[in-house]
Amino acid sequence: MYASTNAVEIRNLQKFYGQYHALRNINLSVKKGEKVVVCGPSGSGKSTMIRCINRLEEHNDGSINVLGTELSDDISNIDEIRREVGMVFQHFNLFPHMTVLENCTLAPMLVRKMPLAEAEALAMKFLEKVRIPHQADKFPGQLSGGQQQRVAIARALCMQPEVLLFDEPTSALDPEMIAEVLDVMTSLASEGMTMICVTHEMGFARKVADRVIFMDAGEVVEEGDPESFFTNPQNERTAAFLSQILSD
Amino acid sequence: MTTLISAQYKPTVWMKVQKNYFKNWRSALLSMMCFAVLGGIVWSIVDWGILNATFSSTARHTECYANGGACWSIIANRWRVILFGLYPYDEQWRSITACFIVVATIAFSCFPVFWTVRRLSLIWLVGAASFFVIMKGGVFGLSLVSEEQWGGLALTLFIFVGTVLIGMPLAIMLALLRNSKLPVISKVTGVIIDTVRSLPLISILFTFALVLPFMLPDMLVGEKLYRVIAASALFFAAYQAEIIRGGMQGVPKGQEEAAQALGLGYYQRITRIILPQAFKNALPAMINQFVTTFMETSLVTIVGFFELLASANAAYGTGEWNFAFVEVYFFVAAIYFAFVFALSRYGAFLERRMAN
């Protein structure tokens, strides 16, 4: 059963797109405060897997337990999990018709029923944390990609989630903006946030991750601590992937 | 020297005209021809409408014939028929007051300050109630004027506003149902929308006005005017629903996912994230539909209502004035233009406001 130290518990997860077997028998436990980096070639199912955790994708078989709540068709269970699990997307997905501040206050006010003043104070606190408080009254379209992604992180933090999911947060960014986003993520990690990151930033994985997971063709091929994962990969697919991605 | 050069490079109005209209002999020729035709049209309108026109309200048709130009005397004599239709003569101040109430209510709800559900409902509740009391009467010492006697501008506005007030929420509902994940619901809604869109408005108006009473129990039939408004609203909603759905398809999938990931429920996602962006995408087409609907209100004359255009026909339809129909149509066109122009300006304001 659910152990109180586990934030996310995935068992025998199966996912199909029609005939295509996207996720094959995934098992994964993430402890509270643990930072897990998921990597693998494109199409390996890593995004699909973390999108299953907050039900952006429906799984076909197996079980997902988040913070003691079993993910099922029950809409109240889904809502409960989404309140506690934040997500940062590859393309930021900020709401373009709202200011940065409104992006951040929306969910706390609507979902947590927080009064406006309190929500704004909270939003400013997290905008300061991602070092962007002076842009609060701008619209997302007026910001650079790196700034938008930092706002998106602040927006997710404003719900004060227990777990943060990152779905390739730096893949859509220009190279000079990647560092500013990774810095924010690193400082979050050091404060004890539970994080599951799909990313190709191996430097970040090495520095921050407690565990690295390698996926290929819809299954978890290898997992281990960053040190042994990078220096001594056990599976040949992992070794091939690492030699490709680290060659340049 | 430098000042001379920079002065030369600053294009004067004349230089722009030269560049745009007289670049070479062919464009010069074409420009001159267009200017000549335009000038001719403008001159003949001015000549007919102002220089040779008869303005006196006491003038009769013989005087108009003598002057040869437009006979604006008909407007001075018959404007009450045009604006009020069959509405009783002594009560027509009520009809014009009702028009002002509608225009004021629309104007108020155009201000972003009032864009909350509670404020808008309050404004429209007050607006509709006072319109109704003034127009229909039967209370507060006002004599009863039944819907059959309503006419002219007040009737046109009433039908338009009624159509939009019923049609707009219906359109949003149809668009959402059409986008439903449940195939049965989206298919059935699709068939309803396509059926309404494949029928001419006139046939729908006829059906609701004349056929429906035979099919419904008496208590559900209601006044003919309201059946006509219901028909018009249904027609409006079918078109507007497809326009809104198109706008919704322009909203990236990531927007809904981000809202879901934040824990927003369906109603919150729709009202806060999807619809505001869909409206922005669809705004030009939506305004267009409003304009079309405003002018299509003139079709209700076919089932026996004297709205603005039908009242105008009646205004020149007496033996004495029936030569002066062009003047009447000019007058009516000016009224339609005032409303449609205001509507399109408001659309442009909204587009600017939403552009960020």
Which CATH number covers residue B276? 1.10.3720.10
Report which listed range, A207-216, B83-92, B102-111, is most confident: A207-216
Q: Does B31 touch chain A (CB under 8 A)?
A: no
In a domain, B60, yes or no: no
Which of B 270-309 lie inside 8 A of A, CB atoms? Answer: 272-273, 276-277, 280
Q: Are B137 and B143 in contact (CB under 8 A)?
A: yes
Q: What is the mean pLDDT of residues A134-156?
A: 94
Asked if B265 has any chain A CB less than 8 Å from its own CB, the reply is: yes
Confidence check: pLDDT of B2 > 60: no
Query: Which run of H or of E encompasses A124?
Result: helix A116-129
Pick the CATH number of A6-90+164-246 from 2.60.40.10, 3.90.1150.10, 3.40.50.10680, 3.40.50.300: 3.40.50.300
Sort out which chain B residues have CB atoms less than 8 A from A91's CB and list them: 252, 254
B232 lies in a domain? Answer: yes
- Scanning every residue of chain A, which has its alpha carbon at the shortest distance from the alpha carbon of B272? A106
Report ipTM (2 d.p.). Answer: 0.92
Question: In chain A, what are the domain boundaries?
Answer: 6-90+164-246
Does the structure show a pLDDT above 80 at B355?
A: no
Please report whether residue B33 resides in a domain.
no
Specify the pLDDT at position B324: 75
Q: How confident is the model at residue A103 (pLDDT cuts 50, 70, 90)?
A: very high
How high does pLDDT run on average in chain A? Answer: 91
Question: In this structure, is residue B291 part of a structural domain?
Answer: yes
Residue A118 reports pLDDT greater than 60: yes
Total domains, chain B: 1
In a domain, B126, yes or no: no
pLDDT of residue B155: 85
Collect contacts of A238-244 with beta carbons under 8 A, ≥24 apart.
A238/A214, A241/A39, A241/A40, A241/A41, A241/A214, A241/A216, A242/A202
Binned at pLDDT 50, 70 and 90, residue A132 comes out as very high
Average pLDDT over residues A211-218: 92
Q: Compute the count of residue pairs across chains A and B with CB atoms less than 8 Å apart.
A: 62
Is residue B356 predicted with pLDDT exceeding 70?
Answer: no
State residue B1's pLDDT score: 47
Q: Using 50, 70 and 90 to split pLDDT, how confident is the model at A148?
A: very high
At B9, is the pLDDT very low, low, confident or very high (cuts 50, 70, 90)?
low
Task: Give the three-state DSSP class for B354.
Answer: helix
In a domain, B29, yes or no: no
Phi and psi angles of residue B84, each rounded to the nearest 5 degrees, phi first: -120, -10
pTM: 0.84
Contact assignment for A82 to B260 by CB distance below 8 Å: yes
Three-state DSSP at A135 gives helix
Instruction: Label residue B247 by pLDDT band (50, 70, 90).
Output: very high
Decide if pLDDT at A48 tops 90.
yes
How many angstroms away from the CA of A83 is the closest CA of chain B? 5
Q: Is the pLDDT assigned to residue B5 strictly greater than 70?
A: no
Instruction: Report the alpha-carbon distance of residue B289 to residue B50 in Å, rounded.
Output: 35
Q: Is B258 in the A-facing interface, judged by CB distances under 8 Å?
A: yes
The mean pLDDT of chain B is 84
**Domain extent at residue B273:** 79-86+153-355
Of the pLDDT bands very low, low, confident and very high (cuts 50, 70, 90), residue A1 is very low
Can you tell me the distance from the alpha carbon of A64 to that of A9, in angstroms, rounded to the nearest whole number?
6
Which residue in A54, A94, A97 is closest to B261 by CB distance? A54
Interface of A with B (CB under 8 A): 54-56, 79, 82-83, 85-87, 89, 91, 93-97, 106-107, 110-111, 139, 141-142, 155-156, 159
Question: Which residue, among A170, A156, A240, has the nearest Cα to A205 in the 3D structure?
Answer: A170
Instruction: Please report, rounded to a whole number, the percentage of residues in chain B having pLDDT higher than 90.
Output: 26
The pLDDT of residue A220: 92
